[in-house]
A and B are shown apart, each in its own frame.
Chain A
């Protein structure tokens, strides 16, 4: 589905220094796979996601989605940002209809489709509210609906639940899995939380400290719905924490 080959990315700072962000990334993601990226801060996982979205360009290497090279943003890839990214001047419904407007889909039809997606994230009642009237978790649910309405093959999520409280976060994780099971999208999901990765992912990709390399790819072959505190989940968690711990130490040193 998504194939990344020999990808490198270096940033040039204003002082003229070079900072290697990503080094020799090779990754294949299968159709309908739920992949979590995890790694120390500044390891380049967000950069990789942004390159996949088409918002940045790699220095070298290739990325393809269904064998089509990525040259810029496209409707085959949707993205949910870490920051709240709803258009504040549009109502919840109009936020979701945004991409359909650009596709020139007639008003009645695009609103009907958008309402279905609001229903999916449980926010039908808030269709006519403005973003400032919503809580953080609700905003991210609308952002998910807005990304999905475009019917992308690949959903890119950059720590979407990073800014919400722990309880809301757990509920959003559940809802996301439900949506993923219904819509069967391929998901790339960045997280800082080992718990989140073990609960959500089919595959966890662990990154090294800067420059970001893929350190380990772990399959979480646990049946869903998963028990957060089960023995198996704990085993994965411990393994991930140990792997990450070494990298976080390296990042500090």
Chain B
């Protein structure tokens, strides 16, 4: 029963995607202007060209490199700061007003300072991605710590877990993991969106985001669309991969994983 349901769902999915592609192809052929809407076949041709030339790999690696720098720092800053703010009330009261001031500023508004501070380097791009990703991670870590069930903390205490350090790492952190995982996942989503903008100002002549602008300048809309689709596809892969890792390794103890 379950299997046949699965197969039926798959068939539905494939049919839906296939019809979207067919409709796209038909509309593009009716318009018949490559620089307004490239057709599916033109995009596939452009894609194959990019793959065979090896250029696409280099673009993907460049973008992933920026993304990794930004995410790495966002995690390294967001989780510890979230822990400190979630556990120690004084730190929360001291830091929270500053965070609330900075948080609403859109990450892209930081681009001038990113260039000023880091020059046209990978770190400037990483910084913009960092700004986008750090707040969801920080806020979710904080919330996770704040919502640590009291009975678990007290259970720890009566079992001899008294020191702040032990309580944080043995009780509150594992209890907050589902929330932290959600934060990282949301942060990755925002961070990846920032990749396009972070590459726009020319820190590299490779990169998916850069190439979108590059081919746009040359009015090669089939290339632009190809890179757009690659951008979306990679985000999907990253998200699925993260979800898989979280479910299989990180939060195996949970009944229904929230992310």
Contact = CB atoms under 8 A, between A and B. Distances in A.
A72 B162 contact: yes
B158 A55 contact: yes
Given A90-B253, A102-B166, A132-B254, A85 B151 contact: yes
B23 interface: no
B46 interface: no
B155 interface: yes
Interface residues of B, number: 22
B234 interface: no
Interface of A: 53-55, 72-75, 77-79, 81, 83-91, 98-99, 102-103, 130-132, 146-147, 150, 156
Given A79-B155, A89-B177, 12 more contacts: A54-B158, A73-B160, A83-B151, A84-B151, A87-B152, A87-B171, A87-B175, A89-B174, A89-B251, A98-B161, A103-B160, A147-B158
B151 A88 contact: no
Interface string B225-259: 00000000000000000000000000111110000
Contacts of A55: 154, 157-158
Contacts of B154: 55, 79, 81, 85
11 contacts: A55-B154, A81-B151, A81-B154, A83-B151, A85-B154, A87-B171, A90-B174, A98-B161, A99-B160, A102-B170, A147-B158
A102 B169 CA distance: 12
A206 B179 CA distance: 44
Nearest to A98: B159
A186 B170 CA distance: 29
Contacts, number: 70
A102 B152 contact: no
B166 to A, nearest CB: 7
A162 to B, nearest CB: 14
Contact of B160 (A81, A87, A150, A156): A150
Contacts of B177: 89
Nearest to A143: B155
A99 B159 contact: yes
